[in-house]
Amino acid sequence: MMKKTGTPSAVSFTGAVKTYGTVRAVDGVDLRIARGETVALLGRNGAGKSTTISLLLGLTEPEAGTVELFGVAPERAVRAGRVGAMLQEARAVPRVTVRELVSFVAGRYPSPMPVAQALELAGIAELAGRRVDRLSGGQTQRVRFAVALAGNPSLIVLDEPTAALDVEARRAFWDSMRAYARRGHTVLFSTHYLEEADAHADRILVIDRGRIVADGTGEQLRRAAGGNLVSFDLAGRGTEGLTLLPGVRSLEVRGERALLRTDDSDAAVIALAELGAIRGLEVAPASLDDAFLALTSRTRKTV
Protein backbone atom coordinates (compact mmCIF):
# COMPACT_ATOMS: atom_id res chain seq x y z
CA MET A 1 0.00 0.00 0.00
CA MET A 2 1.38 3.43 -0.91
CA LYS A 3 0.53 6.76 0.64
CA LYS A 4 -0.08 9.39 -2.04
CA THR A 5 0.80 12.95 -1.21
CA GLY A 6 1.35 16.14 -3.16
CA THR A 7 4.47 16.96 -1.14
CA PRO A 8 7.92 16.03 -2.52
CA SER A 9 9.15 12.73 -1.13
CA ALA A 10 11.85 12.41 1.50
CA VAL A 11 11.74 8.61 1.21
CA SER A 12 10.80 6.59 -1.85
CA PHE A 13 10.71 2.79 -2.20
CA THR A 14 9.61 1.36 -5.55
CA GLY A 15 9.19 -2.41 -5.73
CA ALA A 16 12.09 -2.92 -3.30
CA VAL A 17 13.11 -6.54 -2.68
CA LYS A 18 15.75 -7.95 -0.33
CA THR A 19 16.20 -11.65 0.36
CA TYR A 20 18.29 -13.70 2.75
CA GLY A 21 18.43 -17.25 1.46
CA THR A 22 14.84 -18.30 0.94
CA VAL A 23 13.44 -15.50 3.13
CA ARG A 24 12.09 -12.39 1.39
CA ALA A 25 12.80 -9.93 4.19
CA VAL A 26 11.51 -7.06 2.05
CA ASP A 27 9.02 -8.22 -0.55
CA GLY A 28 8.22 -5.66 -3.25
CA VAL A 29 7.73 -2.64 -0.97
CA ASP A 30 6.26 0.53 -2.49
CA LEU A 31 6.45 3.42 -0.06
CA ARG A 32 6.49 7.22 -0.04
CA ILE A 33 7.17 9.44 2.96
CA ALA A 34 6.63 13.13 2.32
CA ARG A 35 9.00 15.77 3.59
CA GLY A 36 7.95 16.94 7.03
CA GLU A 37 6.03 13.78 7.95
CA THR A 38 6.56 11.80 11.15
CA VAL A 39 5.98 8.12 10.38
CA ALA A 40 6.00 5.05 12.64
CA LEU A 41 7.01 1.62 11.37
CA LEU A 42 5.38 -1.29 13.21
CA GLY A 43 5.89 -5.01 12.81
CA ARG A 44 6.50 -8.23 14.67
CA ASN A 45 10.07 -9.44 15.21
CA GLY A 46 11.29 -10.72 11.86
CA ALA A 47 8.60 -8.85 9.91
CA GLY A 48 11.15 -6.84 7.89
CA LYS A 49 11.50 -3.58 9.86
CA SER A 50 15.28 -3.75 10.33
CA THR A 51 15.92 -4.73 6.72
CA THR A 52 13.71 -1.88 5.51
CA ILE A 53 15.72 0.56 7.63
CA SER A 54 19.00 -0.92 6.35
CA LEU A 55 17.85 -0.36 2.75
CA LEU A 56 16.76 3.17 3.58
CA LEU A 57 20.16 4.04 5.08
CA GLY A 58 22.11 2.44 2.25
CA LEU A 59 23.60 -0.18 4.59
CA THR A 60 22.40 -2.81 2.14
CA GLU A 61 21.09 -2.64 -1.42
CA PRO A 62 17.86 -4.01 -2.87
CA GLU A 63 18.10 -6.94 -5.29
CA ALA A 64 15.18 -5.50 -7.23
CA GLY A 65 13.45 -2.16 -7.25
CA THR A 66 14.84 1.15 -6.02
CA VAL A 67 15.25 3.16 -2.83
CA GLU A 68 15.80 6.92 -2.89
CA LEU A 69 16.12 9.66 -0.31
CA PHE A 70 15.35 13.18 -1.51
CA GLY A 71 15.59 11.91 -5.09
CA VAL A 72 19.08 10.40 -4.81
CA ALA A 73 20.62 7.11 -3.70
CA PRO A 74 20.67 6.65 0.11
CA GLU A 75 24.48 6.66 0.35
CA ARG A 76 24.62 10.05 -1.41
CA ALA A 77 22.01 11.53 0.92
CA VAL A 78 23.84 10.16 3.97
CA ARG A 79 27.22 11.54 2.81
CA ALA A 80 25.63 14.94 2.23
CA GLY A 81 24.44 15.02 5.84
CA ARG A 82 20.76 14.92 4.90
CA VAL A 83 20.12 11.79 6.99
CA GLY A 84 20.73 11.08 10.67
CA ALA A 85 20.21 7.70 12.29
CA MET A 86 19.83 6.40 15.81
CA LEU A 87 20.24 2.63 15.69
CA GLN A 88 19.85 0.04 18.45
CA GLU A 89 23.41 -1.26 18.28
CA ALA A 90 25.60 1.45 19.80
CA ARG A 91 28.11 1.52 22.65
CA ALA A 92 29.12 4.41 24.86
CA VAL A 93 32.48 5.93 23.91
CA PRO A 94 34.83 5.87 26.94
CA ARG A 95 36.62 8.92 28.36
CA VAL A 96 34.99 11.57 26.18
CA THR A 97 32.42 14.17 27.19
CA VAL A 98 29.06 14.62 25.56
CA ARG A 99 30.17 17.89 23.94
CA GLU A 100 33.37 16.30 22.58
CA LEU A 101 31.47 13.38 21.05
CA VAL A 102 28.81 15.52 19.37
CA SER A 103 31.47 18.00 18.15
CA PHE A 104 33.51 15.17 16.63
CA VAL A 105 30.52 13.76 14.74
CA ALA A 106 29.40 17.21 13.60
CA GLY A 107 32.86 17.82 12.14
CA ARG A 108 32.38 14.91 9.73
CA TYR A 109 29.53 16.68 7.87
CA PRO A 110 29.60 19.51 5.32
CA SER A 111 26.95 21.72 7.01
CA PRO A 112 26.56 20.51 10.60
CA MET A 113 24.12 21.73 13.19
CA PRO A 114 25.77 23.95 15.81
CA VAL A 115 26.73 21.66 18.70
CA ALA A 116 24.92 23.78 21.28
CA GLN A 117 21.75 23.57 19.19
CA ALA A 118 21.99 19.77 18.86
CA LEU A 119 22.47 19.44 22.61
CA GLU A 120 19.53 21.75 23.29
CA LEU A 121 17.22 19.90 20.88
CA ALA A 122 18.15 16.58 22.46
CA GLY A 123 17.49 18.00 25.93
CA ILE A 124 21.02 17.40 27.23
CA ALA A 125 22.63 20.84 27.28
CA GLU A 126 23.23 20.44 31.03
CA LEU A 127 25.14 17.19 30.36
CA ALA A 128 27.63 18.70 27.90
CA GLY A 129 30.61 18.33 30.24
CA ARG A 130 29.72 14.85 31.52
CA ARG A 131 31.51 11.71 30.34
CA VAL A 132 29.38 9.65 27.97
CA ASP A 133 30.24 6.36 29.67
CA ARG A 134 28.95 7.63 33.03
CA LEU A 135 25.40 8.49 31.97
CA SER A 136 22.13 6.72 32.74
CA GLY A 137 20.33 4.71 30.07
CA GLY A 138 17.87 7.50 29.33
CA GLN A 139 20.63 10.12 29.16
CA THR A 140 22.66 7.89 26.83
CA GLN A 141 19.71 7.53 24.46
CA ARG A 142 19.37 11.30 24.26
CA VAL A 143 23.11 11.60 23.54
CA ARG A 144 22.58 9.19 20.63
CA PHE A 145 19.77 11.46 19.48
CA ALA A 146 22.11 14.48 19.62
CA VAL A 147 24.69 12.53 17.60
CA ALA A 148 22.02 11.74 14.99
CA LEU A 149 21.19 15.47 14.83
CA ALA A 150 24.83 16.55 14.52
CA GLY A 151 24.90 16.60 10.71
CA ASN A 152 21.81 18.85 10.61
CA PRO A 153 19.76 16.19 8.77
CA SER A 154 16.48 16.73 6.97
CA LEU A 155 15.50 13.14 7.77
CA ILE A 156 16.14 11.24 10.98
CA VAL A 157 15.66 7.49 11.38
CA LEU A 158 15.11 6.08 14.88
CA ASP A 159 15.24 2.31 15.38
CA GLU A 160 13.43 1.37 18.62
CA PRO A 161 14.60 4.64 20.23
CA THR A 162 12.93 4.12 23.62
CA ALA A 163 13.59 0.41 24.12
CA ALA A 164 14.41 -0.36 27.79
CA LEU A 165 13.76 3.24 28.91
CA ASP A 166 11.59 4.02 31.91
CA VAL A 167 8.45 6.13 31.57
CA GLU A 168 10.13 9.42 32.51
CA ALA A 169 13.03 8.87 30.10
CA ARG A 170 10.62 7.95 27.29
CA ARG A 171 8.62 11.12 27.86
CA ALA A 172 11.79 13.26 27.80
CA PHE A 173 12.94 11.61 24.59
CA TRP A 174 9.65 12.23 22.76
CA ASP A 175 9.65 15.85 23.90
CA SER A 176 13.03 16.19 22.19
CA MET A 177 11.87 14.40 19.04
CA ARG A 178 8.79 16.61 18.71
CA ALA A 179 10.95 19.74 18.99
CA TYR A 180 12.98 18.45 16.04
CA ALA A 181 9.88 17.50 14.00
CA ARG A 182 8.30 20.93 14.57
CA ARG A 183 11.11 22.42 12.51
CA GLY A 184 9.63 20.74 9.44
CA HIS A 185 12.00 17.77 9.42
CA THR A 186 11.06 14.21 8.48
CA VAL A 187 11.07 11.45 11.10
CA LEU A 188 10.81 7.69 10.64
CA PHE A 189 10.82 5.58 13.80
CA SER A 190 10.27 1.92 14.52
CA THR A 191 8.81 0.88 17.84
CA HIS A 192 7.22 -1.98 19.75
CA TYR A 193 5.22 0.52 21.83
CA LEU A 194 2.01 0.94 19.87
CA GLU A 195 0.86 3.81 22.05
CA GLU A 196 3.99 5.74 20.99
CA ALA A 197 3.10 5.27 17.33
CA ASP A 198 -0.44 6.47 17.97
CA ALA A 199 0.68 9.49 20.00
CA HIS A 200 3.65 10.71 17.97
CA ALA A 201 3.23 9.69 14.31
CA ASP A 202 1.28 11.37 11.52
CA ARG A 203 1.13 8.00 9.77
CA ILE A 204 1.62 4.41 10.86
CA LEU A 205 3.01 1.74 8.54
CA VAL A 206 2.49 -1.90 9.47
CA ILE A 207 4.91 -4.36 7.87
CA ASP A 208 4.42 -8.12 7.92
CA ARG A 209 6.43 -10.76 6.06
CA GLY A 210 8.27 -8.03 4.20
CA ARG A 211 5.16 -6.28 2.92
CA ILE A 212 3.39 -3.09 3.92
CA VAL A 213 -0.02 -4.39 5.01
CA ALA A 214 -1.47 -1.14 6.39
CA ASP A 215 -0.76 2.56 6.00
CA GLY A 216 -2.70 5.31 7.74
CA THR A 217 -3.41 7.10 10.99
CA GLY A 218 -4.06 5.17 14.17
CA GLU A 219 -7.79 5.81 13.76
CA GLN A 220 -7.74 4.60 10.14
CA LEU A 221 -5.94 1.41 11.16
CA ARG A 222 -8.47 0.78 13.91
CA ARG A 223 -11.33 1.19 11.42
CA ALA A 224 -9.60 -1.03 8.85
CA ALA A 225 -9.29 -3.82 11.43
CA GLY A 226 -12.91 -3.50 12.57
CA GLY A 227 -14.14 -0.41 14.33
CA ASN A 228 -15.62 -1.90 17.52
CA LEU A 229 -15.28 -4.97 19.69
CA VAL A 230 -18.38 -6.70 21.06
CA SER A 231 -17.72 -9.28 23.77
CA PHE A 232 -19.95 -11.50 25.89
CA ASP A 233 -19.88 -14.62 28.05
CA LEU A 234 -20.42 -17.80 26.11
CA ALA A 235 -21.97 -19.45 29.19
CA GLY A 236 -21.55 -22.89 27.67
CA ARG A 237 -23.05 -22.05 24.27
CA GLY A 238 -21.16 -22.71 21.04
CA THR A 239 -19.86 -20.17 18.55
CA GLU A 240 -21.59 -21.54 15.46
CA GLY A 241 -23.13 -18.79 13.35
CA LEU A 242 -21.57 -15.89 15.23
CA THR A 243 -19.40 -14.83 12.28
CA LEU A 244 -22.55 -14.64 10.13
CA LEU A 245 -24.14 -11.96 12.31
CA PRO A 246 -24.57 -8.52 10.69
CA GLY A 247 -21.47 -6.34 10.80
CA VAL A 248 -19.20 -9.06 12.23
CA ARG A 249 -15.78 -9.37 10.60
CA SER A 250 -14.07 -11.89 12.86
CA LEU A 251 -14.49 -13.97 15.99
CA GLU A 252 -12.00 -14.68 18.76
CA VAL A 253 -12.60 -16.80 21.85
CA ARG A 254 -10.74 -15.87 25.03
CA GLY A 255 -11.50 -18.40 27.73
CA GLU A 256 -15.24 -18.29 28.27
CA ARG A 257 -15.75 -15.03 26.38
CA ALA A 258 -16.41 -14.44 22.71
CA LEU A 259 -14.99 -11.32 21.11
CA LEU A 260 -16.54 -10.11 17.86
CA ARG A 261 -14.76 -7.54 15.71
CA THR A 262 -17.48 -5.58 13.95
CA ASP A 263 -18.14 -2.69 11.57
CA ASP A 264 -21.66 -2.25 12.99
CA SER A 265 -21.77 -2.93 16.71
CA ASP A 266 -25.42 -1.85 17.01
CA ALA A 267 -26.56 -4.45 14.48
CA ALA A 268 -24.38 -7.10 16.10
CA VAL A 269 -25.79 -6.38 19.57
CA ILE A 270 -29.39 -6.54 18.32
CA ALA A 271 -28.68 -9.90 16.65
CA LEU A 272 -27.03 -11.22 19.83
CA ALA A 273 -30.06 -10.10 21.87
CA GLU A 274 -32.33 -12.07 19.55
CA LEU A 275 -30.12 -15.11 20.21
CA GLY A 276 -30.25 -14.50 23.94
CA ALA A 277 -26.45 -14.11 23.97
CA ILE A 278 -26.11 -10.96 26.05
CA ARG A 279 -24.61 -12.23 29.29
CA GLY A 280 -21.76 -9.91 30.33
CA LEU A 281 -22.18 -7.93 27.10
CA GLU A 282 -19.59 -5.18 26.48
CA VAL A 283 -18.98 -2.89 23.51
CA ALA A 284 -15.68 -1.02 23.17
CA PRO A 285 -13.71 0.67 20.38
CA ALA A 286 -10.85 -1.40 18.98
CA SER A 287 -7.44 -0.43 20.34
CA LEU A 288 -4.38 -0.03 18.15
CA ASP A 289 -3.08 -3.27 19.68
CA ASP A 290 -6.24 -5.02 18.51
CA ALA A 291 -5.87 -3.50 15.04
CA PHE A 292 -2.21 -4.50 14.81
CA LEU A 293 -2.95 -8.10 15.79
CA ALA A 294 -5.88 -8.30 13.39
CA LEU A 295 -3.91 -6.87 10.47
CA THR A 296 -0.87 -9.08 10.90
CA SER A 297 -2.90 -12.21 11.69
CA ARG A 298 -4.98 -11.61 8.58
CA THR A 299 -1.83 -11.35 6.47
CA ARG A 300 -0.40 -14.57 7.88
CA LYS A 301 -3.56 -16.45 6.97
CA THR A 302 -3.51 -15.28 3.36
CA VAL A 303 0.22 -15.24 2.51
* pLDDT tens digits along 191-229: 888 889 999 999 999 999 999 999 999 888 877 766 788
Q: Are residues 100 and 17 in the same domain?
A: yes
2 assigned to some structural domain: no
Indicate if the pLDDT at residue 299 is higher than 60: no
278 assigned to some structural domain: yes
Instruction: Tell me what the mean pLDDT of segment 169-183 comes to.
Output: 89
Q: What is the CATH number of the domain that holds 102?
A: 3.40.50.300
CA distances from 155 to 2, 118, 181, 296 (A): 19, 14, 9, 28
First to last CA, the chain: 15
Indicate if the pLDDT at residue 302 is higher than 90: no
Higher confidence at residue 7 or residue 44? Answer: 44
**CA-to-CA distance for 166 and 225, rounded, in angstroms?**
30
Q: Are residues 269 and 234 in the same domain?
A: yes
Last residue of one domain, picked from the residues 217, 234, 256: 217
* pLDDT tens digits along 57-111: 999 999 999 999 999 999 999 988 999 999 876 677 889 999 999 999 999 998 9
Instruction: Tell me what the mean pLDDT of segment 160-171 comes to.
Output: 85
Domain count across the chain = 2
**CA-to-CA distance for 273 and 117, rounded, in angstroms?**
62
288 touches 219 (CB < 8 A): no
Provide the domain limits for residue 240.
226-285
Q: Are residues 184 and 248 in the same domain?
A: no
298 assigned to some structural domain: no
Q: What is the CATH number of the domain that holds 253?
A: 3.30.70
Q: Are residues 235 and 212 in the same domain?
A: no
Q: Are residues 168 and 279 in the same domain?
A: no
296 assigned to some structural domain: no
